[in-house]
Amino acid sequence: MSAAKLVYKANQIATFFQSQSPDEAAAGVAAHINKFWEPRMRRQLADILRHDDNGLKPLVIEAAGDIHFPQTTS
């Protein structure tokens, strides 16, 4: 999947959860991504998060600490 499409999808999830309380919103984003995104999508999101100009909404960035990113194999 292209990085732009992945960012778009993550931002859509953040838009949905932003109406919840601040404590629940980031946890909701992380839970959704953990439950419904396959490992390679989460791995690609981890790569995107490494860049400052990634286009992700702040709520996605806040949720990153609770997202289960797969280990990369070298």
End-to-end, the C-alpha distance of the chain in Å comes to 21
- 30-65, pLDDT tens digit by residue? 999 999 999 999 999 999 999 999 999 999 999 999
Give the total number of structural domains in the chain. Answer: 1
In a domain, 74, yes or no: no
- pLDDT band with cut points at 50, 70 and 90 for residue 73: low
pTM listed for this prediction: 0.91
- pLDDT band with cut points at 50, 70 and 90 for residue 71: confident
Residue 21: give the domain boundaries.
3-66
Q: Which two tokens stand for residue 30?
A: 């992380």
In a domain, 31, yes or no: yes
In a domain, 54, yes or no: yes
Amino acid found at 7: V
In a domain, 17, yes or no: yes
